[in-house]
């Protein structure tokens, strides 16, 4: 039940992150702001995670994890409740930043709690089980939240997310065991772990290797309705296909990483490059659909291993390292969106696949450096 409790929490918190994309027009209309202004709510959430995650994790280092988790979930409940009743754009903007500021720290503590009793050869698969909540948020939470928003209003969506986070809080209080208070350490001591070149490389891999995948996901709708010639009505089912692939890839990737971390990472990233090029050249919608499923599965199969590598490398400060790694992923997402926009404005939509493949190839090169560094030790 411990993993189930953590999974429910991750599902609720992550749905709150993803769902805004689907209810953005309704929010803009109700708040009487432009679509670009409403889009800044997504940017605000990303910035809250990038900046707030590492700082809050360092400040709370050494505190008993269960009370800390309950406090973080309490803030998430309050932030989503404030989003539900926000009287205007400014309050909603602040509520999004508030919620985002605890997300990375919560996720990092959830992973550390889940893996602290797992044997070394099961850490990646345990990470995958917790991260499964994130996959569920993508394939179930975000579409369901969008439907609720369309049927009953976007505020009802946030009310449902608030209820989910509150349920997770109760489950954590009931089923997650307490632990002994850790040794209080100073934030600077926690950050000292990042002097390790291997940890720097592991976080750099997370930031760089995911750019290509995130670029294609960000612009998947126009890529499907443009070069691939899908109907607009096919976009939602294709997003579901991608999400199902990502869910399967996450779970299988965790098991593969437990058995052979580096070979599985190198193979998966090489396959992502091939799949991206294949998407660019795909002659039929059926083949494109299969490739979208495959790239979701293969692309997400690397993530549990990335988290496990950071956990193993940063044994002295695993919670902070995971929080920074989550921030690195958000940086990758922000950069992927910007770079994809530049490519579309320049060479055009079809070039997105090739630029994404080049970015993934760079991530593959960084991952290969891990083998070289291991061989020299």
Convert the pLDDT of each residue in 220-246 to its tens digit: 878 888 888 888 778 778 888 888 899
CA-based torsion, 278, 349, 328, 115: positive or negative: negative
pLDDT at position 152: 94
pLDDT in tens, 139-171: 788 888 888 988 899 999 999 999 999 999 999
pLDDT at position 132: 83
Task: Confirm whether 1-184 and 188-377 share one CATH topology.
Answer: yes
Q: Which CATH architecture has domain 1-184?
A: Up-down Bundle (1.20)
CA distances from 348 to 115, 229, 278, 285, 340 (A): 44, 15, 17, 20, 9
pLDDT at position 187: 58
CB atoms inside a 10 Å sphere around CB 194: 16
Q: How far is 16 from 300, CA to CA, in rounded Å?
A: 20
Q: How far is 278 from 354, CA to CA, in rounded Å?
A: 10
- pLDDT higher than threshold 60 for residue 374: no
pLDDT tier at 23 (50, 70, 90 boundaries)?
A: confident
- pLDDT higher than threshold 70 for residue 185: no
> What is the residue-wise DSSP string for 121-167?
GGHHHHHHHHHHHHHHIIIIIHHHHHHHHHHH-HHHHHHHHHHHHHH
- Determine the topology of domain 188-377 in CATH: Growth Hormone; Chain: A; (1.20.1250)
So where are the chain's domains? 1-184, 188-377
Q: How far is 293 from 203, CA to CA, in rounded Å?
A: 26
pLDDT at position 186: 57
pLDDT in tens, 42-83: 878 888 888 888 889 888 877 888 999 999 999 999 999 999
Q: How far is 288 from 228, CA to CA, in rounded Å?
A: 7
Query: Percentage of the chain with pLDDT > 70?
Result: 95
pLDDT at position 318: 84
pTM, to two decimals: 0.81
pLDDT in tens, 86-111: 999 999 999 999 999 999 899 888 98
pLDDT tier at 375 (50, 70, 90 boundaries)?
A: very low
pLDDT tier at 10 (50, 70, 90 boundaries)?
A: very high
- pLDDT higher than threshold 60 for residue 324: yes
Phi-psi region of 229 (alpha: psi -120 to 50; beta: other; left: phi over 0): left
């Amino acid at each position: 039940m411990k993993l189930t409790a953590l999974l429910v929490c991750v599902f609720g918190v992550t749905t709150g992150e993803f769902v805004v994309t689907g209810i953005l027009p309704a929010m803009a209309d109700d708040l009487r702001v432009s679509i670009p202004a409403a889009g800044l709510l997504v940017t605000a959430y990303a910035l809250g995670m990038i900046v707030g995650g590492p700082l809050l994790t360092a400040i709370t280092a050494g505190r008993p994890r269960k009370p800390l988790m309950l406090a973080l979930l309490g803030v998430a409940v309050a932030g989503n409740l404030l989003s539900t009743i926000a009287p205007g754009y400014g309050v909603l903007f602040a509520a999004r930043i508030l919620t985002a500021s605890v997300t990375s720290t919560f996720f990092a503590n959830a992973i550390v709690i889940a893996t602290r009793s797992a044997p070394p050869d099961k850490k990646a698969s345990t990470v995958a089980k917790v991260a499964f909540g994130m996959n569920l948020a993508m394939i179930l939470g975000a579409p369901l939240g969008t439907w609720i928003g369309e049927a009953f209003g976007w505020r009802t969506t946030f009310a449902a997310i608030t209820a989910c986070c509150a349920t997770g809080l109760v489950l954590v209080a009931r089923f997650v065991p307490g632990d002994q208070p850790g040794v209080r350490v100073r934030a600077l001591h926690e950050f000292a772990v990042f002097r390790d070149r291997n940890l720097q490389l592991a976080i750099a891999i997370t930031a760089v290797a995911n750019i290509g995948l995130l670029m294609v996901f960000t612009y998947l709708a126009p890529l499907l309705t443009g070069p691939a010639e899908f109907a607009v009505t096919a976009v939602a089912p294709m997003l579901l296909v991608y999400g199902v692939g990502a869910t399967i890839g996450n779970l299988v990737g965790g098991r593969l990483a437990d058995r052979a971390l580096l070979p599985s990472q190198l193979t998966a990233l090489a396959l992502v490059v091939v799949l991206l090029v294949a998407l660019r050249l795909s002659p039929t919608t059926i083949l494109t659909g299969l490739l979208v499923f495959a790239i979701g599965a293969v692309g997400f199969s690397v993530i549990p291993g990335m988290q496990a590598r950071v956990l193993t490398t940063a044994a002295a400060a695993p919670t902070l390292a995971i929080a920074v790694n989550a921030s690195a992923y958000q940086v990758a997402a922000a950069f992927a969106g910007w770079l994809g926009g530049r490519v579309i404005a320049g060479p055009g939509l079809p070039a997105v696949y090739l630029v994404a493949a080049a970015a993934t190839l760079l991530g593959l090169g960084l991952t290969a450096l891990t083998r070289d560094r291991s061989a020299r030790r």
